[in-house]
Structure 1
Amino acid sequence: MAEYKRPTTKEEFDKNFKQKKPLMNDTEAYYEASRCLFCYDAPCVQACPTHIDIPLFIKQIHTDNVTGASKTIFAANWLGNACGVVCPTGVLCEGACVYNHQDVPPIQIGRLQNYATNTTISEDKVIFKAGKSNGKKAAVLGSGPAGIAFASEARTMGYEVDIYEAKSLPSGLNVHGVAPYKITNEEVLSEIEYLQKHLGFNIKYNSAIDSKEQIKKLEHNYDAIFLGVGLGNTRTLGLEGEDKANVVGAVEFIEELRKKQHKMKVPQKVVVLGGGNTAMDAASESARMGAKKVVLAYRNSKEKMGAYGFEYDLAISAGVDSLFHVTPLEIVGNGKVEGVKFAKTEIVEGKLKTNMKNTFVVRCDLVIKATGQAKMGRLFKLIDNLDIDNRTVIKVNAETFQTSNPKYFAGGDAINGGAEVVNAAYDGKMAARGMHNYLNK
């Protein structure tokens, strides 16, 4: 079991949060690329939500055409660099690699993708440019992966694009909610800066859109509007004691950690509530920040968790303990967290039931809620004739990503309720094409 000391310097923080997928050097990339079989009708391409021509870009790397490889990647996925490291490649492209059927390690597609795009970004190679101005303007709400992909694609078609971002930094969860051992702030921001420099979209920071008047002004000033706002803060659970000090949401915890890094202090005993990938990240990060006891608590069995198996394994390897078939009843303490009262759960006639006769308290100094994020329903209600479903996500045309209000297009978490970065990148790109077809029909 790993045991981490609390980092007090940037160097110690970086050591505790060593990158899961470190950047390849030229030799590593050449030899890894040489392993590819360049399959016809390659299953890795089918497994990629953005359908990057993976055999082609790997062949280009192997023949020392790294710039060409980057062009192949970015042509399909405007967030190609970030996706190379944050994507769950083990269940997507690499999970589909034919080598898996031969008991041979799959091609490290994500790291090769990151190698090619990182090289091009660091050398500031020009591989695309904005299209000739067509006189039309598009507004984007949110500078997450969907919004950036939409803006990039729209600029290649000559649209003037303004992105309205509520926070002070771009890229949504990539820079605010993804664990630091998956990707660094520097790498996320360098990709956005590269795209912005060569394509020329504008980002207006600290510019939340939260009133009917602002919406009407956007509708008047722009030919089309893209909703890429993602999700909001962590949902409340309605537990007694949830308002006590040191009860935080997982996304907010990760965002603070990414900003403060070694300057953030994590208490000795932590309980993380949830069973998704974000819960695994929050638990693993707590351990890497020096917490002596981190308990991951989930209401059902390990097999029922939403997290990928490799994410759970990563948390356990960091020293996290897990507690299954428990549900939180109350957060106890005198003004400040002192523990969580749980009840055991059990399966009765195929349904999960809470056994109130079997309760206990786990002592802790910090409770992290990784129980899902609130939807942006308040914003959606400001827009006339915008259909949303009972999950509070926007309904769109599956091919054009146009909403019931024809001036609006949407993508990413706003339409799927929470998926991968690569899904958002695909949605944004295709929505820009849908907008272009609509405005030029």
Structure 2
Amino acid sequence: MSAGLDDRVANGLTAAEVAARLGEMTPPLTPDEARVEADRCYYCYDAPCVEACPTGIDIPGFIRKISTGNLRGSAVTILESNIFGGSCARVCPTEVLCEEVCVRQVQQGKPVTIGSLQRHATDFLMATGEHPFTRAPLTGRRVAVVGAGPAGLACAHRLAMLGHEVVVFEAKPKPGGLNEYGIAAYKVVDDFARREVEFILGIGGITIEYGTPLGPDLTLDQLRGRFDAVFLGVGLADPNTLGIPGEDLPDVVDALGFIETLRQSPAEAEAVVMGHVVVIGGGNTAIDAATQARMLGAETVTIAYRRGPEHMGATKVEQDWAQTHGVTIRHWLTPVAVRGGFITFARTQLEGTRLVVTKERVRAPADLVLTAIGQSLSDGPLIAGHELPAMARGRITIDDDYRTSLPGVFAGGDCVGEGEDLTVQAVAHGRDAAHAIDRYLT
């Protein structure tokens, strides 16, 4: 996070008070609410919601089990396809995935709340402390997984189920990836991300080594020599830059770093959100950062996006959520300079399909600027070895079996150029790559 954060004066809230302000976005269903909602499902044959789910969860199947009171069976149905079913129930944009194509949505404009039902079932099973899966007979094969985010841990869990030994190498001191560090506190509250990882590790056969990033001290060449296969789930670690004057000022901060500090040291992040906050970007990270800044007492919070509302990466539900909490969203603006407590924008417009920056300028007060314009793959750690997997458009290239150009090296999640940068997509990559690795090993 930018150096300027430690020098601010706090608003006087304790960490507990900060957490209270960032209360849960959507409360869990009660048992009665869950049964009533489950009864709304048509239990469609060839259900469109299943097709829309990147992990292919048997949605009618798990909902039917909720309606009959079989919560354990419901959770197992979910977790068989998506071991991160609990966090995906909280963070998935279900409104543009399974719920968007729900027959109830098509007919009545009110879908079955699939995400809430999924959370209801998975929370029940996690609360029991039971891990529902067992390992296959041990194969004697060892696989290295780089990155303890959703892709890496989903891969590790499925490999462990298949009887392989897995060692996960994680750069940070905690597992979970963006679930632990990069999701708004009001979406994944308390210590749920940690508890979910503990649940996943309950399968056995998985070791995590923390503080071990890929790089000069741990090269890809070394891992290939020590293990029978390697899975890269390294994510996207480098925030994109604005490339404008004033970007290096202490009041210009990476939005993901801001969110991480809110999750790990809430009182510290709370100290910076006074006055006028401007967030640059149009995705979920921009929404998460802006909404939390407003919840914590910023006088004004404005999201500035270079295109129109229909082009934003954040869904309409996310946009509405931010605006309901007092965030202003302004479109057709791109930043050109930051100086003296102000940010200057140029107005943009479309000429055909091409975005054009006009000569018109707009100036706005900005005591804090949060940048949320995406991340890039840091290829430095990969280059530390002698051989580098093929890349295209800044991402690792893979084939249909998640194989990179290097024999025995597989990859998935945000670091590859396949699919969307969603938690559920990363989980699907990790799970399917594990089966590809199993075929390669056996």
TM-score where L is the length of structure 1: 0.93
Alignment-derived partner of residue 128 in structure 1: 133
Alignment-derived partner of residue 248 in structure 1: 253
Q: Does 1:290 align with 2:297?
A: yes
Per the alignment, do residues 51 and 7 of structure 1 end up closer, same or farther by CA in structure 2, a change over 3 Å counting? farther
Is this contact kept in 1: 2:215–2:382, CA < 8 A? no
Q: Does 1:408 align with 2:416?
A: no
In structure 1, distance between residues paired with 2:103 and 2:16 = 39
| AA partner of residue 206 (structure 1) | G
Alignment-derived partner of residue 195 in structure 2: 190
Query: Percent identity at matched positions?
Result: 38
Deviation at 1:129, TM superposition (A): 1.7
Deviates more, 1:15-24 or 1:147-156: 15-24
Alignment-derived partner of residue 85 in structure 1: 90
Alignment-derived partner of residue 71 in structure 1: 76
Deviation at 1:375, TM superposition (A): 1.3
Per the alignment, do residues 11 and 31 of structure 1 end up closer, same or farther by CA in structure 2, a change over 3 Å counting? farther
Is this contact kept in 2: 1:274–1:371, CA < 8 A? yes
In structure 2, distance between residues paired with 1:255 and 1:44 = 32
**Residues 101-148 of structure 1: CA deviation (Å, up to 9, x unaligned):** 222521111111111111111111231122221111000110000001
Alignment-derived partner of residue 364 in structure 2: 362
The structure 1 residue matched to 2:316, chosen from 280, 290, 309, is 309
Unaligned runs of 5+ in 2: 1-10
In structure 2, distance between residues paired with 1:241 and 1:54 = 49
What SS is found at the alignment partner of 2:211?
Answer: coil
In structure 1, distance between residues paired with 2:119 and 2:144 = 29
In structure 2, distance between residues paired with 1:7 and 1:24 = 34
The structure 2 residue matched to 1:34, chosen from 34, 39, 58, is 39
Alignment-derived partner of residue 426 in structure 1: 428
| AA partner of residue 311 (structure 1) | E
In structure 1, distance between residues paired with 2:243 and 2:111 = 45
In structure 2, distance between residues paired with 1:139 and 1:396 = 18
Deviation at 1:424, TM superposition (A): 0.3
| AA partner of residue 415 (structure 1) | V
The structure 1 residue matched to 2:285, chosen from 275, 278, 301, is 278
Is this contact kept in 2: 1:273–1:297, CA < 8 A? yes
Deviation at 1:165, TM superposition (A): 0.5
Per the alignment, do residues 347 and 47 of structure 1 end up closer, same or farther by CA in structure 2, a change over 3 Å counting? closer
What SS is found at the alignment partner of 1:409?
Answer: strand
Deviates more, 1:12-21 or 1:264-273: 12-21
**Residues 316-369 of structure 1: CA deviation (Å, up to 9, x unaligned):** 111011222221111112xxxx1111122233455322223x223211110101
In structure 1, distance between residues paired with 2:226 and 2:352 = 58
**Residues 149-195 of structure 1: CA deviation (Å, up to 9, x unaligned):** 00000001111101101001111111111111111251111111011
Q: Does 1:164 align with 2:164?
A: no
What SS is found at the alignment partner of 1:163?
Answer: strand
| AA partner of residue 404 (structure 2) | T
Instruction: Give the superposed CA RMSD.
Output: 1.8
Structure 1 ranges of 4+ moved more than 6 A? none
What SS is found at the alignment partner of 2:95?
Answer: coil
Is this contact kept in 1: 2:261–2:268, CA < 8 A? no
Deviation at 1:263, TM superposition (A): 4.4
In structure 2, distance between residues paired with 1:107 and 1:205 = 40
Alignment-derived partner of residue 4 in structure 2: none
Deviation at 1:217, TM superposition (A): 2.1
Deviation at 1:14, TM superposition (A): 3.9
What SS is found at the alignment partner of 1:285?
Answer: helix
| AA partner of residue 394 (structure 2) | T
In structure 2, distance between residues paired with 1:214 and 1:120 = 39
Aligned residues: 429
Deviation at 1:282, TM superposition (A): 1.2
Alignment-derived partner of residue 386 in structure 1: 389
| AA partner of residue 287 (structure 1) | R
Is this contact kept in 2: 1:227–1:410, CA < 8 A? yes
